[in-house]
Amino acid sequence: MSNRVVVTGIGVLTPIGNNLAEFSEGLRAGRDGIAPVTHFDASKHRCQSAGQLKNIDFSAHFSPEELPYLSRGTRMIRVAAAQGLAASGLDLAAEDRSRVGVVLGTNLGGMPAAKEGYAALHHPYRRGRAGPKEPWRALVLDSFISAMSDQVASQYGLAGLSLVMSTACSAGLHALGVAMDAIRSGQAEVMLAGGVDPLSEMPQAGFGVLRSLASDKLRPFSKDRDGTLLGESASLWVLESEAHATRRGARILAELAGYGGSTDAYHMTRPDETGRGPARAMQAALDSAGMKPEQIGYIKAHGTGTPANDVIETRAIKHVFGERTQVPVSSIKAMVGHSLGSSGATEAAAAVVALNEGFLPPTLHLDTPDPECDLDYVPHRSRPAKLEAVLANAFGFGGNNAAMVFRRWEG
């Protein structure tokens, strides 16, 4: 019996598009979604720019009674979930929902809302007064990162596996991989998987203290790069067994063919300079897919724009694909920013878009070639390409590495 896993729907919210079609258009156009921060007062921070969602009105998606009780993260992932399910055509009412689960990746979940929520609850009680219980009490409960998957599961009555992955910036891609494994093992027939992280003052301050943020623009793989820029995104994928998708006549976007993970076991923030950890994840993904490096037509890089990471990712790619590899590589972070735990899944959607729509997303602001980053990074503009298989990378603090192979669906 086939244990192939296929993608039948993707919902996304990003700084360059609030659904998959808009996201694809933004990628093809090479749209820069970085702008001055408006979510909070960024004037006191080292960096005042980030990738924020634009033109999104959550009041159009939730009732006035419900909206105040939902953190920004919950709002984002529930909108993405509605998109992904609508795109898949899946009728959950006709499903055995004990065989449908959800796995999400996040670093922050609803935590940004908790700061104000705890203050509203805590200070009155310290003074012997009863503070306002609603909506702050609900927002405090929504701040747990586990609430992200719970919100989706309860919204749709999903009684299968429900998990949240929190492996720093690889969390979203790990979530897709765990969901794939649940289907391959027979534990589930359908999984909703993806990631969400809202823009927040907390990581803006933290990455600033670490001196990891760019002085002006995010320049992946460029010699003059000096840091990353944060962003926010949500993505929700509908994954199914091949048999289940075929039985209901679903439109299949791609096969999720292979997944691999590794850990550098080296340092809490600094990656191993050899690149062997990310290389192990990429090789494991290829092995899982039963594919060779030469079958990959494009690599969606992690590409943070930090001085160390881009060199190390280049080395890792060469470990697997060879020193003289010609495979195109690009980073979309200069367009959308780095959305932390959500980035792996959201950016993997760019790999599926490339696979289906026949173009390579560009790496913006790559103006000054770095001799240590000497691959084909698709600078400035998107490029037509016919692809049969693509690889997506996501690497995080603590040396948490994930890689995934997507294959064109031919039936």
Q: How do residues 254-293 score in pLDDT, each as one tens digit? A: 999 999 999 988 876 777 889 999 999 999 999 999 999 9
Q: How do residues 73-83 score in pLDDT, each as one tens digit? A: 999 999 999 99
Span between the terminal Cα atoms of the chain, in Å: 15
pLDDT of residue 125: 47
Tokens of 35: 């702008």
Answer whether residue 35 shows pLDDT above 60.
Answer: yes
- At 53, the amino acid letter reads L
Catalytic residue among 169, 174, 244, 365: 169
Answer whether residue 143 shows pLDDT above 90.
Answer: no
Under DSSP, the state recorded for 222 is B
**For residues 255 and 243, what is the distance between their CA atoms, to the nearest angstrom?**
13
| Catalytic residue flag (residue 373) | no
**Least confident piece of the model among 31-35, 100-104, 114-118, 379-383:** 114-118
Answer whether residue 114 shows pLDDT above 80.
Answer: no
Number of other residues whose CB lies within 10 A of the CB of residue 130: 8
| Position 134 confidence tier, pLDDT thresholds 50, 70, 90 | low
Catalytic residue among 174, 244, 338, 365: 338
- At 373, the amino acid letter reads C
Residue 395 gets the label, from left (phi > 0), alpha (psi -120 to 50) or beta, of beta
CATH topology of domain 5-110+145-407: Peroxisomal Thiolase; Chain A, domain 1 (3.40.47)
The model's pTM? 0.94
* 95 Cβ neighbours under 8 A, 6+ residues apart: 189, 190
Answer whether residue 309 shows pLDDT above 80.
Answer: yes
Contact 148, 104 (CB under 8 A): yes
Q: What residue spans of 5-96 are helical by DSSP H? A: 20-29, 72-88
| Catalytic residue flag (residue 319) | no
| Catalytic residue flag (residue 338) | yes
Answer whether residue 353 shows pLDDT above 70.
Answer: yes
Catalytic residue among 47, 302, 365, 373: 302
pLDDT of residue 202: 86
pLDDT of residue 398: 78
pLDDT of residue 106: 96
pLDDT of residue 120: 57
Answer whether residue 129 shows pLDDT above 70.
Answer: no
Q: Kindly state the percentage of the chain with pLDDT values over 90.
A: 79
Answer whether residue 31 shows pLDDT above 90.
Answer: yes
**For residues 234 and 356, what is the distance between their CA atoms, to the nearest angstrom?**
21
Contact 390, 297 (CB under 8 A): yes
pLDDT of residue 12: 98
Q: Where are the domains of the chain?
A: 5-110+145-407
Q: Per-residue pLDDT averaged across 142-154, rounded?
A: 87
Q: How do residues 182-240 score in pLDDT, each as one tens digit? A: 999 999 999 999 999 999 888 898 888 888 999 999 999 999 999 999 999 999 999 99
